A and B are shown apart, each in its own frame.
Chain A
Amino acid sequence: MYYKIMGCNMTKKLSTFFFSLLLVSSLASAGDDNNISFTCAEINSAKQFDSSFTELRDLAIKTNKKLCFSKLNPEGEQLNLIKDIILEYSNSANALIRSDFEGDKFDFIDKQFNIYNGDIEKFYSRVPSEKIMYKMEADGALTTEFYFTLPNESRSEVSNTLDSSCAKINSDTGLYKDCKEALSDAACAFNAYSYSYDMFRYEKNAKQLNLLGKQWDNYIQEARAQTLLDVMFTTWMHNDYYSDSKLVAPASTQYFILKPQVVYENVFDAENGDRSKIGLGVEWIGINWWDLKVPFGVSVISIYSDYQSLPSVGHGLLFTFDNKYSLGFTRRGSETGAVVTIDLLKFMQNKKEKLEQYKSSF
């Protein structure tokens, strides 16, 4: 059975991808729509959640399947269903854990489960259900703490004096060094309940991050060459975009400032022998839309060339196409000149050479 989490559309084409152990999910890439779907299927193995609390782990795996399938309900009742499934799981898990961690000294476990249940009860339908897949934790450096990762987290300190009691927990193994190790093992089994939710999000993230990575690779390969100053200027112009609280693709515009380059200029009405010059061009300021179907940019340019009969500095506009080739015009006094960059000149020369080669072959 296939579905898209959080009620999105079914995908057009599905291919099956098996998560190795607990949950078998199929991820489907549906053309360009970036949807991911997955399948809840039978469990191949439970080794992924290696824990000696096997009964608790089996309960978690069963709950994981229930949660996964609960998303199939299209009528909107699945949110209450999710709450019910988690509360039922919580109560059964609490009882199972307390059957191993016996006595008043482990009452802190019940206390933490009560806090956990209280938080699940508060869950309301507008919150994405993945946000209540809280984890059980038992850790700490010098002192062990036991808690659930709830928004208003309250932790129970597990006294070191209990460590000898914990060594005998779960008598099948009896290998725990201390309570931290025993409770961590129980937590590992407990946390298996949210595996399908977690996997779905991580797979979706992976796909989105790969897409962003490709967009950046494309930018670095394809966008118009920039000097360090241009790069810093572009970053400054897009500062709000790049400092936003999410990862982003490259901005669609590049900016240029004080960009020097060598250009070829032809002033049509200049005197014979003084019409064509190679000169130093400076783009004072410019913009380039690098990812259009036909990338296009425009800059204000000044060109310095040593003309005999014209002013040595001309001003004009430079248009850039395909992130590489630029041509434009300048005004020198009352005369107009055409400008191309050396890149475009080389490109035209290559075409001309190819044409000559082609002609000579006949």
Chain B
Amino acid sequence: MSKLPIVLLVHGMGTHPLDNMTKDFKAGLNEAAKGFGVNDFNIDEHMEIVEFNYSESLDKIRKKLAEQSQDIIAQFDMLPGAGTAVEIVKKLLEFQSNLDKDEEIYTHWLDVLLYGATFYGEPIRIELAKKINNIQKRAAGRDIHIVAHSLGTAVVHDTLNKLYRDEATSEDDIPDLIPGIDNIKCLWTFANVNRLVHILNGIAPNGSSVVRSGPNGCTDYLYNIYHELDPFTMILRYEPTIENGKNFVNHVVRNINTHNFTEYVADPEVSQYMLLQMTNLQEPKSMANFEAYKQKHREGEINGLYDKMKVEFKEIHNLEIDSVEDLFVLIQEFVKKVKELTNVL
């Protein structure tokens, strides 16, 4: 029987073809392993990677909502001499009737709304809970890691918070796992947006969450990673006090998209901990190897971009997020800034 750890990946917002996140994760960790001096690194020899893909569920929901609106709009064509009132209603329904289109506004930003502000979040959490429970069932002593990015951090947080219950007992009909007993080994959250999404869904108010490390939480270790210039982590930043684990801050800009998952994983300090927690490799333990990789990683930095971004994103940093509308303003502002900077480069 395999003793390799099981690594469950949970993607961020947008449409994600199956295995897309696995490729990004492997790319980041491969670069890091090579940087630490492991030249023949084959990730599949060190861990079993599985993915939870909820973008397909969100696509289906968007399609269903779009079809329903399209049906109503089609019925309006039956109205004789349709007047202004009908035209107004049709306009209102057009937004929903376009939800099945592959435009970024629908595939990215609406995901946040659909997951956070509607009950459609619950069946997604149930599917993830099934996956986690099944992994627990077959793990039999193998370590379990959960790696989540962006919106996936909220999906994972909310699921774990509902699945791991202090009141857990096999006497009732509530599916649950026991904090401290059924703990996963490590939870890795990249660009954590829990606090933003919790404005919408109200899960775990006042930080009353079981998603923490140690015997009273659901994970033995919690590693939380954000980039100083990732706009999604600038507002309502998630930076908890961690009992076992660490908050990592990335400052290096090698890619204008500071929200990029591969870049997050390839960070020397993060990947050092990942390789040590997930594999038996000895090379990342060496301080000399760490310094060498850190140096090499920095060589990829885009000259002057860090300073430019810091200035450009200052406004975003000062935005106050109190509502869904504020959240969309933030997202639009970020996209605008990235486009401006891309043109400058």
**Residues of chain A whose beta carbon lies under 8 Å from any beta carbon of chain B:** 5-6, 8, 21-22, 34, 47-50, 128, 130-131, 133-135, 137, 139, 141-142, 149-153, 177, 181, 187-188, 191-192, 195, 198-206, 208-210, 212-213, 216-217, 220, 225-228, 231-232, 234-235, 238-239, 242-248, 250-251, 260-262, 278-280, 282, 304, 306, 342
B contacts with A, residue count (CB < 8 A): 78
Partner of A235 from B118, B220, B273, B280 at Cβ < 8 Å: B118
Query: Cα distance A199–B204 when bound, in Å?
Result: 29
Using Cβ atoms and an 8 Å threshold, which residues of chain A touch B123? 213, 216-217, 220
Q: Is B13 an interface residue (CB 8 A)?
A: no
B78 nearest CB across to chain A (Å): 6
Q: Is B323 an interface residue (CB 8 A)?
A: no
Identify the interface centre among A130, A209, A227, A247: most chain B CB within 10 Å of its CB: A247
Q: Is B342 an interface residue (CB 8 A)?
A: no
Query: Cα distance A242–B204 when bound, in Å?
Result: 11
Query: Cα distance A245–B317 when bound, in Å?
Result: 32
Q: Is B326 an interface residue (CB 8 A)?
A: no
Query: Cα distance A226–B72 when bound, in Å?
Result: 11
A246→B165 contact, CB < 8 A: yes
**Residues of chain B whose beta carbon lies under 8 Å from any beta carbon of chain A:** 1, 3, 61, 64-65, 68-69, 71-72, 75-76, 78-81, 85-86, 89, 92-93, 95-96, 99, 117-123, 125-127, 129-130, 133-134, 136-137, 140-141, 143, 161-163, 165, 168-171, 173-178, 180-183, 185, 201-205, 214-216, 220-221, 272-273, 276-277, 280, 282, 285
Query: Given A139-B277, A188-B3 in contact, is the A199-B137 Cβ separation under 8 Å?
Result: yes
Identify the interface centre among B68, B165, B182: most chain A CB within 10 Å of its CB: B182
A209→B133 contact, CB < 8 A: yes
Chain B residue nearest in CB terms to A341:
B75
A139→B220 contact, CB < 8 A: yes
Chain B residue nearest in CB terms to A282:
B89
Query: Given A134-B181, A191-B141 in contact, is the A231-B133 Cβ separation under 8 Å?
Result: no
Using Cβ atoms and an 8 Å threshold, which residues of chain B touch A22? 140
Using Cβ atoms and an 8 Å threshold, which residues of chain A touch B214? 153
Identify the interface centre among B99, B119, B143, B181: most chain A CB within 10 Å of its CB: B119
Query: Cα distance A77–B96 when bound, in Å?
Result: 61
A260→B220 contact, CB < 8 A: no
A262→B76 contact, CB < 8 A: yes
B173→A209 contact, CB < 8 A: no
Query: Cα distance A248–B56 when bound, in Å?
Result: 21
Query: Cα distance A228–B175 when bound, in Å?
Result: 29
Partner of A242 from B79, B122, B140, B170 at Cβ < 8 Å: B122
A133→B176 contact, CB < 8 A: no
Query: Cα distance A181–B279 when bound, in Å?
Result: 11
B93→A227 contact, CB < 8 A: yes
B118→A231 contact, CB < 8 A: yes
A250 nearest CB across to chain B (Å): 7
Query: Given A202-B133, A280-B86, A304-B85 in contact, is the A247-B171 Cβ separation under 8 Å?
Result: no
16 other contacts beyond A225-B71, A228-B118, A278-B79, with CB at 8 A cut-off? A6-B171, A48-B1, A48-B140, A128-B168, A141-B272, A141-B273, A202-B136, A212-B175, A213-B123, A216-B126, A220-B123, A225-B68, A242-B121, A242-B122, A243-B205, A247-B163
Using Cβ atoms and an 8 Å threshold, which residues of chain B touch A47? 1
Chain A residue nearest in CB terms to B65:
A228
Q: List 20 A-B contacts (CB under 8 A).
A: A6-B170, A48-B140, A50-B3, A131-B178, A133-B181, A135-B183, A141-B273, A142-B276, A149-B181, A153-B214, A191-B141, A192-B141, A202-B134, A204-B175, A206-B133, A245-B204, A250-B119, A262-B76, A306-B80, A306-B81
A227→B170 contact, CB < 8 A: no
A231→B285 contact, CB < 8 A: no
Query: Given A243-B201, A243-B203, A247-B122 in contact, is the A261-B75 Cβ separation under 8 Å?
Result: yes
Query: Cα distance A245–B125 when bound, in Å?
Result: 12
Query: Cα distance A248–B163 when bound, in Å?
Result: 11
